[in-house]
Amino acid sequence: MSEAAAPAAAAPRAASGGGGASRGLPGGRWLGVLPFFLFVTLFLILPTLYIVVGAFRTTGGGWTLQNVLDLNTRSIRNAYWVSVQVSFWSALLGCLIGFAMSAAVVLWGLPRWLKQPLLTFSGVASNFAGVPLAFAFIATVGPAGLITLWLRSDLGVILQAGLWNVPEGLQWLLPGQVRFPRFTILSTWGLILTYLFFQIPLMVLIITPAIEGLRREWREAAEVLGASAWQYWRMVALPILTPSLLGCMALLFANAFGAVATAIALTGPALNIAPILLYAQIRGDVLGNPNLGYALALGMIVITAAANALYVWLRARSERWLK
Amino acid sequence: MRAFAWGAFVLGALYFVLPLWGMTEFSLSMRRGEYSFDAYRSVLAMPDFQATFAFSAFMALVTIVVGVLIVVPTAFWVRLKVPELRPVIEFITLLPLVIPAIVIVFGYIRLYNTGSWLPLTGTAMGTNLLLAMGYTVLALPYMYRAVDTGLRTIDVGTLTEAAQSLGAGWATILGRVILPNVLSAVLSGAFLTFAIVIGEFTMAALLDRPAFGPFMQRLGQDRAYEPSALAVIAFAITWGCMGLIGLVSRTQKHTRAAR
């Protein structure tokens, strides 16, 4: 509440206050931030620049665009494409489900006491990623998982085969066997299903403040002017929330795109997605060209950076209304 | 609308409860036909479990100490002396959320290899140091934001002047005036750092360190029930860290109200 106003008021006071000790030497002001800049230069900026620059060099040391062009092979294109699909669908579904859960508690009349547990749980679940998350899903929908076995023994549904042996009681309605798309945890959709476990809570955490920013007056004004609930949503609430929703989706996309550990623990090297390909390249130069590895990493930076830039831009737009 | 809301909420909740139930049930069913803690006993008795967990816990502590040493003085100094740098520093601290960890560690491996000007990966100690620095970078966004928010609630300028007029040097000001005032923010950042570092996989695996994350991944390939037990333990640790964060931020509200 008052937090937003505080820095503006504190900044001039802070700048003038307590300046006695180092005013004598010029540049002494900057000395205090030197350790920070040294640290980020050594362990964040330089390593990243090394990769970015390496993407544009030949093994001999000259400059080239060939590495970036060489990314356009079938297997690398495919890896990026699967990554983009996984990130896109997990971001889209995460956005929709997270929004629905948050809106259900904040706006749609669920008891208010549900909000705090939801936010607390979201804080935990959004940080429960990586290897253990993969184990949880293997234990649930893996080949011998809880739900897999239950569906098979009690309902006759075999997920891996995409086959439903319809129980006798229902055979008057359906044929003896129903086919449906196969599902295994070691597939694109298995990965999406697993990623949703940290995508939905992240969405809940970042969209709840935006939903709470919808003022009651706007709804009342719309009602007074004769709008139905649907018209209020379509013409007032959704246009205001749209930049937030799209921004969150961009953030979720970047979040999924950089995830490595969950995918490796879940599928091993079986699934061809960009982070796993890069992981294999770092371990053993599977592409047979170190500079092509740099270009692969550069592609990942470009995609996550674009998604984040989109998020920042859209958030700035949404703050026009929700502040 | 209400029914739709309940439906959305219950379906969402079910999605979260089922995997947690699945892993718990699986972790308890090592013994045929009855529930038992055998998988937990088996995991806890593994020498590798103890060694890697201790390694990662120690790494987390080093990361927290390095993070505090870098973030607290910087955030303090920027507020006090160079507020014009704030946007720049904020931007830099957010970069680790943009650049995937796998790319950063890729850079480390190439930049600090045995033939380079700073051959950190040549020795085990050097690689450990590099890993701790990498974790500090990963924790930077959370740590900086927590500490900066903490500093926002106190009057840095006046506190510094008061301490200076009583003859305190910079170390005393930072350690005995500023740090105690932002302690709950620092602790929040520290617990979140712990939760991130303890199970981290990518950096540790690529730097080939005996950490908890790679151990879990290896175990997942060879065993059936133990990984679920590990997942339950990891979930409990994450929950514990988040609970502690909630606890320290609540305590702070109390002290603020009393003042």
**How distant is the Cα of B206 from the closest Cα of chain A, in angstroms?**
7
Q: Are A304 and A297 in contact (CB under 8 A)?
A: no
Q: Are A197 and A93 in contact (CB under 8 A)?
A: no
Give the pLDDT score at B54. Answer: 95
What's the mean pLDDT in A287-293? 82
Question: Which sequence spans correspond to the domains of chain A?
Answer: 74-142+184-288+295-318
A64 touches chain B (CB under 8 A): no
Interface pTM (ipTM) of the complex?
0.88
Q: Are A21 and B165 in contact (CB under 8 A)?
A: no
Find residue A163's DSSP bridge partners: A158, A179
* Residues of B (219-238) whose Cβ lies below 8 Å from A: 220-221, 224, 227-228, 230-231, 234-235, 238
Chain B residues with CB inside 8 Å of A16's CB?
Answer: 157
The single-letter code of the amino acid at A141 is: V
Give the pLDDT score at A19. Answer: 42
Binning pLDDT at 50, 70 and 90, where does residue A6 land?
Answer: very low
Of A35-44, A85-94, B167-176, the range with the lowest mean pLDDT is: B167-176
Q: A17–B22: do the CB atoms touch at under 8 Å?
A: no
Q: A51–B103: do the CB atoms touch at under 8 Å?
A: yes
Query: What burial class does residue B244 get, using C-beta atoms within 10 Å of its C-beta: 0-12 exposed, 13-18 middle, 19+ buried?
Result: middle
CATH tag, A74-142+184-288+295-318? 1.10.3720.10
A301 touches chain B (CB under 8 A): yes
Residue A21 has its nearest CB partner, among B102, B164, B246, at: B164
pLDDT digits (tens, 9 = 90+) for A243-259: 888 888 998 999 899 88
**How distant is the Cα of B60 from the closest Cα of chain A, in angstroms?**
15
In chain A, whose CA is at the least distance from the CA of B80?
Answer: A14
Q: A139–B23: do the CB atoms touch at under 8 Å?
A: yes
Chain A residues with CB inside 8 Å of B236's CB?
Answer: none
Residue B157 has its nearest CB partner, among A17, A46, A131, at: A17
Task: Give the position of tokens 């209400």.
Answer: B2
Domain B49-258 bears CATH identifier 3.40.50.1980: no
Give the pLDDT score at A63. Answer: 87
Helix ranges restricted to H, chain B: 2-28, 38-45, 47-80, 86-98, 101-111, 124-152, 156-165, 170-172, 179-181, 183-198, 202-206, 212-222, 226-258
Does the pLDDT at position A25 exceed 60? no
> How many Cβ pairs closer than 8 A exist between chain A and B?
283
Give the pLDDT score at A4. Answer: 38
| Cα Rg of chain A (Å, integer) | 26
**How distant is the Cα of A289 from the closest Cα of chain B, in angstroms?**
14
Q: A136–B228: do the CB atoms touch at under 8 Å?
A: yes
Give the pLDDT score at B63. Answer: 95
Q: How far apart are CA A316 and CA A186, in angstroms?
A: 39
What's the mean pLDDT in A53-69? 85
Binning pLDDT at 50, 70 and 90, where does residue A2 land?
Answer: very low
Residue A47 has its nearest CB partner, among B104, B199, B239, at: B104
Tokens of B7: 């439906």
In chain A, whose CA is at the least distance from the CA of B221?
Answer: A265
Q: A135–B89: do the CB atoms touch at under 8 Å?
A: no
* Mean pLDDT of each 10-residue bin along chain B, 259 residues long: 82 89 88 86 90 94 94 91 88 89 92 84 89 94 90 87 88 87 89 90 92 91 87 89 84 53
A6 touches chain B (CB under 8 A): yes
What is the DSSP code string of A101-123? HHHHHHTS---GGGHHHHHHHHH
pLDDT digits (tens, 9 = 90+) for A175-232: 777 788 888 888 888 899 999 999 999 999 988 888 888 888 888 888 899 888 888 8
A18 touches chain B (CB under 8 A): yes
Residue B74 has its nearest CB partner, among A33, A131, A137, at: A33
Q: A131–B213: do the CB atoms touch at under 8 Å?
A: yes
B99 three-state secondary structure? coil
Q: How far apart are CA B4 and CA B106, in angstroms?
A: 47
Residue A33 has its nearest CB partner, among B18, B82, B161, at: B82
Q: A18–B157: do the CB atoms touch at under 8 Å?
A: yes
Does the pLDDT at position A61 exceed 50? yes
Binning pLDDT at 50, 70 and 90, where does residue A146 land?
Answer: confident
* Residues of A (67-86) whose Cβ lies below 8 Å from B: none
Q: A279–B206: do the CB atoms touch at under 8 Å?
A: yes
What's the mean pLDDT in A5-27? 43
What's the mean pLDDT in A48-66? 87
Q: Among A129, A133, A149, A153, which residue's Cα sits nearest to residue A141?
A: A149
Q: A33–B77: do the CB atoms touch at under 8 Å?
A: yes
Q: A297–B137: do the CB atoms touch at under 8 Å?
A: no
* Residues of B (143-182) whose Cβ lies below 8 Å from A: 149, 152-153, 155-158, 160-161, 164, 170
Question: Which sequence spans correspond to the domains of chain B?
Answer: 1-36, 49-258
| pLDDT > 70 in chain B, percent | 97
In chain A, whose CA is at the least distance from the CA of B106?
Answer: A282
**How distant is the Cα of B94 from the closest Cα of chain A, in angstroms?**
10
Does the pLDDT at position A100 exceed 80? yes
Q: B102–A132: do the CB atoms touch at under 8 Å?
A: no
Instruction: Kindly report the pTM of this predicted structure.
Output: 0.85
Mutate which: A16, A90, A128, vs B, most B CBs within 10 A: A128
> Strand A157-158 and strand A177-179: pairing?
unpaired
Chain A residues with CB inside 8 Å of B68's CB?
Answer: none
Residue B19 has its nearest CB partner, among A103, A136, A257, at: A136
A20 three-state secondary structure? coil
Q: A33–B78: do the CB atoms touch at under 8 Å?
A: yes
**How distant is the Cα of B16 from the closest Cα of chain A, in angstroms?**
7
